[in-house]
Amino acid sequence: MIKQEIEDSVAYLQNKGFNAPEIGIVLGTGLGNLANEIENPIEAHYNHIPFFPLATVEFHSGKLIYGTLEGKTVVVMQGRFHMYEGYDLQDVTYPIRVMHKLGIKKLFISNAAGAINLNFKKGDIMLLEDHINLLGGSPLAFKGVSQFGERFVDMGNPYDTEMSNAIKNIAKKENITMHSGVYAAVLGPQLETKAEYRMLKIIGADAVGMSTVPEVIVANHLKLPIVAVSVLTDECDPDNLETADIKEIIKIASETEPKMIKLFRELLKTL
Ligand code: HPA
């Protein structure tokens, strides 16, 4: 990855009318519908944006959508890139760098995740207050990193306190059950073994998923404030483990999506 590639991606998008978005939003698996609520949308398919990674997974439609939501200009990623699809960590985080270069000042992230903390139930939402990177790599471990910022990025407070507090207040006001917890990112695409779920609990994870952490690391590299929520789609109880079913995971994500949309829309109003 070089700066010129990002500049070419940005030039293409600006040509299409992606002018100075204020907020970037990443929509996770089964959580793409917020994109349909954008007013005056302009769309750019990932496959058409110069130097963007090519979109693969069929249940992601794979596009960037620019427009307004609650009076704010936003750029939304409908579908993201995962390491489990064979992308490297720089591909996975490339769109974050592009959105940053387009001008976003804040980033909202969503994902579908399994509940490791068994006080949390499927269909609940968890605010990420911290994370554990089990992906086996870093999106900052590359030779040209210093062109883009410092190498040794502080991760003591990776999620923005102000937006996190604001979204907690919104959840309370809207009667939406929202927990706070630690998200562990694993490579996947296989789900975890019972022993792995036990380990995740022991090391302090409350939820597990296959995304988000690389994006959060790069956003911290770019000093971009982040708020991130998991939609909990399954309960990872090693002593009563149900057979993993990706269709069921997507179904629960879709059913829970309206709550996430409400939280994000209300949060936009506060900014
Ligand atoms: N493990 C990993 N990723 C997931 C899970 C899970 O149980 N549920 C949704 N995404």
| CA–CA distance, 126 with 51 (Å, rounded to integer) | 33
> What domain count does the chain have?
1
Distance of CA 24 from the midpoint of ligand 1 (Å): 24
The protein residue whose alpha carbon is closest to atom 7 in ligand 1 is: 114
Distance of CA 21 from the midpoint of ligand 1 (Å): 31
The protein residue whose alpha carbon is closest to atom 6 in ligand 1 is: 114
Q: What is the pLDDT of residue 76?
A: 97
Give the CATH number for residue 166: 3.40.50.1580
| CA–CA distance, 182 with 118 (Å, rounded to integer) | 13
| CA–CA distance, 129 with 256 (Å, rounded to integer) | 20
Q: What is the pLDDT of residue 59?
A: 45
Look up tokens 């917020």; give the residue.
34
> pTM of the entire structure?
0.95
pLDDT tens series, the chain, 271 aa: 788 999 999 999 999 999 999 999 999 988 888 999 999 999 999 999 999 987 665 545 689 999 999 999 999 999 899 999 889 999 999 999 999 999 999 999 999 999 999 999 999 999 999 999 999 999 999 988 888 888 999 999 999 999 999 999 999 999 999 999 999 999 999 999 999 999 999 999 999 999 999 999 999 999 999 999 999 999 999 999 888 888 999 999 999 999 999 999 999 999 9
Domain that holds residue 141: 3-270
Name 70's Cβ contacts closer than 8 Å, sequence gap at least 6. Answer: 265, 268, 269
* Residue among 57, 116, 208, 242 whose CB has most ligand 1 atoms within 8 A, to mutate: 208
- Ligand 1 neighbours (beta carbon < 6 A): 112-114, 186, 191-192, 208-210, 233-234, 236, 249
Q: What is the DSSP string of 168-197?
A: HHHHHHTT--EEEEEEEE---SS---HHHH
